[in-house]
């Protein structure tokens, strides 16, 4: 088990609302994906403040916590603190209603994402096979070629069975029964009937359309979708005493008949139309898909739309044997994202940003872009714009040259091997050129923009520091006045565990008996939260304090609070800062206990309480020696 992530996992579960709020949790390559009973109980701000969490997203009804490539290690520890097995038993939690697009993307992602590792593994085996052929290690007539090809094609040949299992899990029907129905479509006896070409009628009445279902996608998706309703209806109406025998039997009889007579043929027809559409794109607008994916994939990732687009590549491959819809644009976009983060790492002066950008660029070059996207490119904006332009240009070249890959896999640098096939190296050469275009264009644009934005950020940082901690008087003593009438006690007796543990710094807690908060000293308003429940101040001697009104009052979104100052204002001791409606806050179920915290505690030589117990506003309360 990954003990080093135990503390992080415990905090994540706490900040998503506790284990009682977790209906389900799973992970992909970089993210923990939570299904929460009530998203309102989660605290995205606290999650993002955790060391180890890059970003929090809510897409298609899934609460996503972006971790990075070590997400599997964190997930191991999450299992200790979240009762993730409860979703498989007992009453099903009531699903949050989604709009059609959210529901569709959620369905597609839930069905296709679990099979990606198998498709990637098979794709890389095909890439190895192609390399062995190119370098003359084996020939197409050798048994080794025959067997390696079998290793790779097994996943694609039996793709309907894999999809049946994952889709059934998504739709909460029996995955083993779904796999059994899919196996009917691939049975050698059915293949023999199709090859013979003679009309087939079930009981001499129901016609079974002769169609091949190996490596197909649409037919089994339709079949399992209908099966989920049939199976639930049978489970509801068949007596429990004979349920175990008759539900599987009736499921096979009903779905087998529907699969070969109606649903399978409809899926095959839809698949043929999709093949025609893909051929049309390849002939008339080959530049469009790679350009769109190459340029706008980061936006798609942010909104979760990529989960609905990526399976188009799988569909195209199942129909035509190659993917030009998603793969080429995706690898160009990823290389652009990696390059943008790398340039930031080289240009920035901030050590933490440099470290995040460098590690994010490495994982992005391997095909995992979320750390670079959410940790660097999106917050800074200009690297994201550069990457979108560079990725679009590379994708445009790949599209114009009809570049496509012959297997599905990750879209990092190793993915270039997937473009070797069809007894030619031309696709491999073209994807290399497309990647070079993406990298060079992104690097140049990011560098040029960094000349302005990195300089601006550095200047802003210096100006902010100057305003925050004036040089005059720095290193002296600050006497803090009582900001609100009430009863004062040590911070370790605060009702909030985080403040009591001094996680935010040393200080005092106040049980207020008044509703007006005043400035504790002469200084500057360094931060005023939009919710007005917390205000940060810096004294003339450099002491930094946070006045936090109430516990969890951030959830009120500013209701019952009124601010009388703005961020950046200079204030005098005793000046009115905030008023709050204590009665209504308490009626809403929140404590109004106010925390007075020295937020730069590590920089202080001494923090000495001067007052405890009952106190009037304006009395000396705390001495801070810098």
- Residue 446 included in any domain: yes
**Residue 172 and residue 42 share a domain:** no
The fraction of the chain above a pLDDT of 70, given in percent, is 89
The tens digit of pLDDT for each residue in 580-616 reads 999 889 888 889 999 999 988 888 888 889 988 898 9
- Residue 106 included in any domain: no
pLDDT band for 279, please (50, 70, 90 cuts): confident
The tens digit of pLDDT for each residue in 24-41 reads 887 765 678 888 888 888
Q: What is the pLDDT of residue 467?
A: 36
**Residue 367 and residue 262 share a domain:** no
Q: What is the pLDDT of residue 475?
A: 58
Higher pLDDT, 293 or 277: 293
Per the structure block, which two tokens stand in for 131? Answer: 């390399």
- Residue 458 included in any domain: yes
The tens digit of pLDDT for each residue in 456-506 reads 454 444 443 333 333 333 458 899 999 999 999 998 888 877 778 776 788
- Residue 173 included in any domain: yes
**Residue 389 and residue 266 share a domain:** no
Q: What is the mean pLDDT of residues 544-559?
A: 84
**Residue 597 and residue 580 share a domain:** yes
Q: What is the pLDDT of residue 547?
A: 92
**Residue 292 and residue 267 share a domain:** no
For the cut 50, the answer to whether the pLDDT of residue 337 exceeds it is: yes
**CA atoms of 26 and 38, how far apart (whole Å):** 17
What strands lie across the sheet with 576-580, from one edge to the other? Answer: 516-518, 576-580, 561-563
Q: Is 517 helix (H, G, I), strand (E, B) or coil?
A: strand
Query: Which helix (H) or strand (E) segment is 171 a member of?
Result: helix 159-171
The tens digit of pLDDT for each residue in 113-125 reads 788 778 778 877 8
Count of domains forming the chain: 4
- Residue 237 included in any domain: yes
Burial class (CB in 10 A: 0-12, 13-18, 19+), 141: exposed
Q: What is the mean pLDDT of residues 65-71?
A: 75
**Residue 577 and residue 494 share a domain:** yes
| CATH code, domain carrying 44 | 3.30.1360.60
Active site includes 604?
no
- Residue 244 included in any domain: yes
Of 48-57, 329-338, 533-542, 547-556, which has the strongest mean pLDDT? 329-338
Q: What is the mean pLDDT of residues 427-447?
A: 95
Domain termination residue (choose one: 73, 89, 105): 89
Average pLDDT of the chain, as a whole number: 83
Query: Are the C-beta atoms of residues 625 and 606 closer than 8 Å to each other?
Result: yes
Least confident of 179-193, 296-310, 452-466, 486-500: 452-466
Instruction: Say how many C-beta atoms besides its own lie within 10 A of residue 90's C-beta.
Output: 7
**Residue 446 and residue 388 share a domain:** yes
pLDDT band for 322, please (50, 70, 90 cuts): confident
Instruction: Say how many C-beta atoms besides its own lie within 10 A of residue 210's C-beta.
Output: 17
Query: Are the C-beta atoms of residues 406 and 130 closer than 8 Å to each other?
Result: yes
- Residue 552 included in any domain: yes
| pTM beyond 0.85 | no
**CA atoms of 253 and 555, how far apart (whole Å):** 54
- Domain of 488 in residue numbering reads as 477-625
- Distance separating the N- and C-terminal Cα atoms of the chain: 44
- Measured N-to-C along each axis, helices 218-237 and 159-171 cross at an angle, to the nearest 10 degrees, of 40
**Residue 22 and residue 41 share a domain:** yes
For the cut 60, the answer to whether the pLDDT of residue 408 exceeds it is: yes
Q: Quote the distance between the C-alpha of residue 42 and its chain's center.
A: 16
Q: What is the pLDDT of residue 464?
A: 39
**Residue 315 and residue 430 share a domain:** yes
Domain termination residue (choose one: 62, 89, 116): 89
Domain termination residue (choose one: 89, 107, 126): 89
**CA atoms of 147 and 151, how far apart (whole Å):** 6
Per the structure block, which two tokens stand in for 205? Answer: 């009445």
**Residue 50 and residue 186 share a domain:** no
Least confident of 67-71, 353-357, 461-465: 461-465
**Residue 600 and residue 530 share a domain:** yes
Of 21-35, 55-69, 95-109, 377-391, which has the strongest mean pLDDT? 377-391
**Residue 344 and residue 268 share a domain:** no
Q: What is the pLDDT of residue 471?
A: 36
- Alpha-carbon separation of residue 406 from 173, 367, 416 (angstroms): 33, 18, 10
- Residue 175 included in any domain: yes
| Residue 347 φ/ψ, nearest 5 degrees | -95, -30
Catalytic annotation, pick one of 28, 330, 332, 480: 28
Q: What is the pLDDT of residue 116?
A: 75
Q: What is the mean pLDDT of residues 241-258?
A: 89
Least confident of 237-241, 303-307, 332-336, 524-528: 303-307
**CA atoms of 163 and 538, how far apart (whole Å):** 59
| CATH code, domain carrying 533 | 2.70.70.10
Q: What is the pLDDT of residue 102?
A: 65
**CA atoms of 339 and 389, how far apart (whole Å):** 12
Question: What DSSP designation does 494 have?
Answer: -
Q: What is the pLDDT of residue 307?
A: 65
């Amino acid at each position: 088990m990954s003990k080093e992530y135990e503390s992080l996992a415990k905090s994540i579960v706490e900040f998503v609302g506790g284990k009682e709020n977790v209906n389900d949790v799973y992970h992909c390559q970089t993210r923990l994906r939570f299904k929460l009973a009530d998203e309102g109980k989660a605290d995205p701000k606290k999650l993002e403040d955790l060391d180890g969490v890059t970003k929090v997203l809510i897409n298609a009804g899934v609460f996503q916590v972006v971790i990075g490539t070590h997400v599997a290690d964190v997930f191991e520890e999450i299992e200790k603190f979240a009762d993730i097995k409860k979703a498989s038993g007992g009453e099903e939690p009531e699903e949050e209603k989604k709009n059609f697009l959210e529901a569709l993307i959620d369905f597609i992602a839930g069905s296709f994402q679990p099979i990606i590792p198998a498709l990637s593994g098979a794709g890389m085996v095909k890439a190895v096979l192609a390399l062995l052929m190119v370098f003359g290690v084996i020939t197409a007539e050798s048994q080794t070629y025959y067997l390696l090809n079998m290793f790779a094609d097994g996943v694609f040949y039996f793709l309907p069975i894999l999809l049946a299992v994952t889709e059934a899990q998504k739709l909460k029907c029996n995955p083993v029964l779904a796999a059994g129905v899919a196996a009917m479509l691939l049975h050698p006896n059915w293949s023999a009937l199709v090859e013979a070409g003679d009309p087939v009628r079930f009981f001499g009445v129901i016609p079974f359309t002769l169609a091949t279902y190996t490596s197909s996608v649409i037919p089994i998706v339709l079949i399992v979708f209908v099966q989920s309703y049939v199976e639930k209806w049978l489970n509801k109406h068949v007596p429990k005493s004979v349920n175990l025998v008759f539900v599987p039997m009736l499921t096979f009889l009903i779905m087998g008949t529907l699969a070969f007579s109606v649903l399978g043929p409809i899926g095959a027809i839809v698949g043929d139309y999709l093949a025609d559409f893909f051929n049309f794109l390849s002939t008339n607008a080959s530049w469009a898909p790679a350009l769109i994916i190459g340029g706008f994939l980061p936006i798609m990732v942010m909104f979760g739309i990529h989960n609905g687009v990526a399976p188009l590549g799988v569909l195209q491959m199942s129909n035509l044997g190659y993917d030009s819809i998603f793969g080429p644009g995706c690898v160009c976009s990823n290389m652009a994202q990696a390059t943008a983060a790398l340039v930031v790492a080289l240009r920035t002066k901030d050590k933490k940003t440099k470290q995040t950008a460098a590690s994010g660029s490495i994982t992005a070059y391997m095909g995992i872009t979320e750390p670079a996207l959410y940790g660097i490119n999106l917050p800074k904006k200009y690297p994201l714009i550069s990457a979108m332009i560079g990725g679009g240009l590379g994708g445009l070249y790949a599209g114009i040259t009809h570049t496509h890959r012959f297997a599905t896999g990750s879209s990092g640098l190793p993915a270039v091997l997937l473009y070797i096939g069809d007894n030619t190296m031309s696709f491999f050469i073209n994807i290399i050129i497309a990647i070079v275009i993406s990298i060079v264009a992104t690097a140049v644009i990011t560098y040029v923009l960094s000349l302005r934005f990195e300089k601006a950020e550095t200047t802003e940082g210096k100006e902010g520091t100057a305003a925050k901690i004036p040089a005059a008087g720095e290193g002296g003593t600050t006497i803090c006045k009582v900001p609100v009438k009430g009863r004062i006690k040590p911070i370790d007796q605060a009702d909030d565990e985080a403040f009591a543990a001094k996680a935010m710094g040393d200080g005092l807690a106040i049980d207020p008996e008044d509703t007006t908060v005043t400035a504790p000293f002469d200084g500057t308003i360094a931060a005023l939260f939009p919710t007005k429940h917390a205000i940060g101040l810096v004294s003339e001697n450099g002491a930094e304090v946070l006045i936090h009104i109430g516990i969890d009052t951030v959830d009120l979104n500013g209701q019952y609070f009124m601010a009388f100052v703005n961020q950046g204002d200079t204030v005098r001791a005793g000046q009115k800062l905030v008023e709050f409606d204590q009665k209504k806050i308490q009626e809403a179920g929140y404590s109004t206990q106010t925390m007075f915290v020295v937020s730069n505690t590590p920089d202080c030589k001494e923090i000495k309480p001067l007052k405890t117990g009952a106190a009037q506003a304006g009395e000396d309360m705390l001495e801070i020696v810098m």
